[in-house]
Structure 1
Amino acid sequence: MLDNFPRGTIVIEDIEIGMFRYIRKEVTDADIEMFATVSTDRNPVHLDDDYAQDTIFQGRIAHGMLTAGLISAVIGEQLPGHGTVYLGQSLKFLRPVRPGDEVYAEVKVTDIDMSKRIVRMDCHCSVEGKKVLIGEATVLAPSRKFD
């Protein structure tokens, strides 16, 4: 991963609307193979060059949820960070991610319910400036009161 914010925790008391964090990561063949092993999703469109060449993608693609996992990484490691509990996530996949693509994954705070510690964030991933995934996440943010 390159060019990322520090990892850690931003507590609900310090989160502001408009705050954002991101990571960049190159998706490798090893990432795709590991994801296939962990998830048990061994669809050949992800793993077999010959098979994938004859699909609408005309080549291998990364699992959509591997790309979505980068959103989870930003939320769990940066904003809000450690101690965050996922409540929900919507996703829309717009374009395939291919082995070797560098994915930029960003989350941006759009709403805060301080009394319930709930934060809503717009999320997106892009490759070469083109969005490949969009969505919204709802999380329970950590608080100083529960340290």
Structure 2
Amino acid sequence: MDKKPNSETTLIWVLLNIAHKTVTQRFETELRRAGLPPAAWYDVLWGLERNPQGMRQNQLERGSLFDQANLSRTLKRMVDDGLVTQCPAPEDRRGRILTITDAGRDLRLRMWEVYGGLMLSEIEDKVPAHARQGLIQGLQALVPGFKGLEP
């Protein structure tokens, strides 16, 4: 490779990774302190709640922050704990349709009390209002095809 990243690109890469690590660790610490499951569970519950008709695991994975192996293990625990149901897919019977249960909705709401507060303190309170739109645009450029937060 002849061309090397310039110092600005390198700084973006380093800061992006450090910010992710710092904020994620803080979220995990506070969820644990509140006696709640890890953020991966929130991600799954939120995805399923936004899609009340249910989703296949691969659909959930595409919108998730976690890889397939971790998602499979997480889903097994969540099904065992009564937070998520899985039923055979009507069109092929081999696939599974995942849906959130009432207990899963309740847990997501309890987790949101911590999660939402941390979004405020760790992101909204720290990123100046005038910089937010540029940050959003920059991150969207790194995630082509991101559809936003709609189901």
User: Which TM-score band applies after superposition, normalised by the shorter structure?
Assistant: under 0.3
TM-score (norm 1): 0.25
Larger fraction in strand:
1
TM-score (norm 2): 0.25
Q: Larger relative CO (CA 8 A, sep 6+): 1 or 2? A: 1
Give 1 or 2 for the bigger CA radius of gyration.
2
Larger fraction in helix:
2
